[in-house]
Amino acid sequence: MIARRVRAHGRVQGVGFRDAMVDAATLAGAQGWVRNRRDGTVEAWVQGDESAVERVLAWARRGPRLAQVERLEVAEVEADATIAGFDRAPTA
């Protein structure tokens, strides 16, 4: 299992990014969470097998139809065995 912390920059709030990412991650079989940040970015924790995580990252680089992802920061992190499913988390 691999894990990545992701931060999407650009027009990523108010465009359905979080709900669409929940759907994309669930379809890919990934676990984690996604939330808005007060600085206007969207942050996510994505973990699972490598192919599932890569599918979610590929989706996040473009986002939903109304999003304009300018930059995607991706950092390797240790997987968290306590995470199950993929959820929307509160804004941080």
What are the catalytic residues?
Answer: 18, 36
Residue 79, CA distances (Å) to 10, 46, 57, 63, 91 in order: 27, 9, 16, 23, 22
d(CA 52, CA 31): 9
